[in-house]
Amino acid sequence: MKMDNNKALIEQFYVALKNKEIIELQSHYAENAVFNDPIFSNLDGKQVRAMWEMLIKSGKDMRIEFYNVQGNATGGTAQWDAYYTFSATGKKVINRITAHFTIENGKIVKHTDSFSFNNWARQALGIPGLLFGWSSFIKDKISARAKKNLEAFMST
């Protein structure tokens, strides 16, 4: 039963993301939620809700597809693809992501998205990403810019 509930919650989360329903999407996170991916690390509940709002509002052409949603006793997993234009370069990106969720009391408390930063950098940055996307310098620079963008978004 809990596995079915967790699977349903993850599906509802991605339907809200797909339909760009910000408030619905945000409602699936617990206050104490933690989010991590190769670009954003250790976001708290307030930051992760703001991150999704920022990405939805700035990603005018963003489209997502999700599949392989699985629920288990403590959360679940899903795979999803994000299609969008990276605003800093105007380049098209297809990002293939695997998500892992920990769910407690019907809310997401831990959400970790995994994807190849190197593949992302090649698409989003072009030649610099192709040449240096593997380097921690580029990854750290992109992460710092993303965090700064999130802080600016949250202060408005």
What is the model's pTM? 0.93
62: burial class by Cβ within 10 Å (0-12, 13-18, 19+)?
middle
Closest CA relative to residue 58, chosen from 150, 129, 133: 150
| pLDDT at residue number 132 | 79
Confidence grade of residue 2 (pLDDT, cut at 50, 70, 90): confident
CB 68 within 8 A of CB 83: no
* Helices first, then strands: H and E counts in the chain: 6, 6
Structural domains of the chain, ranges and CATH numbers in brackets? 2-115 (3.10.450.50)
| pLDDT at residue number 135 | 85
The strand pair at 75-86 and 107-114 is best described as unpaired
